[in-house]
Amino acid sequence: MKRRYKMQIAYDGTPFSGWQRQPHSTSIQELIEKALTILLKEPISITGSGRTDQGVHARGQVAHFDTSTPIEHIPTLLVSLAALLPPQIRIQTLEMVQSTFHARYGAKKKTYHYHIWTNPIQCPFQFPYTYHVYTPLDMDLMAQAAKKLSGTHDFTSYCNQGEGKNNVRTIYRIDFALTSDGFVVQIEGNGFLYKMCRNLVGTLLAVGKGKISLDDVEKILSKRDRKAAPAAVPPHGLTLEQVIY
């Protein structure tokens, strides 16, 4: 009898080709599947809550898998997984769940954090995880733009490769949390289109730099055209923090 397991995963995305398994490059999904296949002695495939791009990090990615191998002691399996996986990937929790649980279709809410450093001199320990912005930013304007982007909209303009699909999503909140050397853009939504977070942050920064106006933000949304919106920010500032079911 197969049993379903849910796991929470943290990873530093820097050295990998992204979450999703693909030929000719090393994905996070593939490495976890290989480790589980060795330890559970049967072919294991895992289903994540969604992809993360090359260079994007996670503290709270969630995935599930089915296995007919009984897992007798979960802490021991976690330590064995840590021994087989590169140190940039760690399975943090594992629990048996009902067979109706689905990491992707059951995800109700996701939180992404985008880390921005605004001090002129960046910290050597933060550079792999934060995007350095040199130009001054109007945080008040950015907060107003964030309000315009929150809510239920067709986010086609903020989605790469999104033509002809249902691109309506709900953003519950976009908050700015100040840090000692910059800030974190916290984005919570019911789902995110391809590159949507990085496109949204790119637009918020364009507003903060005075390159586009608050009116432009609404116009871009209504155009439903990716080419209407400013460029995306780079992947290394982004972390998938939490997936809620």
Is 66 catalytic? The answer is no
| The binder of a second copy chosen from 40, 71, 74, 78 (CB under 8 A) | 78
| The binder of a second copy chosen from 2, 34, 41, 79 (CB under 8 A) | 79
User: How far apart, in whole angstroms, are the C-alpha atoms of residue 89 and residue 26?
Assistant: 12
The residue count for binding a second copy (CB under 8 A) is: 22
Distance of CA 89 to the CA centre of its chain: 15
Q: Which residue, 43 or 124, is less far from a second copy as judged by CB?
A: 124
Q: Choose the stretch contacting a second copy; rule: CB under 8 A; options: 10-18, 35-43, 156-164, 171-179.
A: 10-18
Q: Which residue, 1 or 121, is less far from a second copy as judged by CB?
A: 121
- Residue window 21-60: x/- pattern of binding to a second copy, with contact defined by CB under 8 A: ------------------------------------x---
| Residue 64 Cβ vs a second copy, minimum distance, rounded to whole Å | 19
User: How far apart, in whole angstroms, are the C-alpha atoms of residue 199 and residue 1?
Assistant: 44
Q: Which residues between 87 and 146 bind a second copy (CB under 8 A)?
A: 87-92, 120-125, 127, 129
| Residue 18 Cβ vs a second copy, minimum distance, rounded to whole Å | 15
Residue type, 188: E
Q: Is 231 in the site for a second copy (CB under 8 A)?
A: no
Q: Which residue, 12 or 33, is less far from a second copy as judged by CB?
A: 12
| Residue 227 Cβ vs a second copy, minimum distance, rounded to whole Å | 32
Query: Which residues are known catalytic residues?
Result: 53
| Contact footprint for a second copy (CB under 8 A) | 10-12, 57, 75, 78-79, 82, 87-92, 120-125, 127, 129
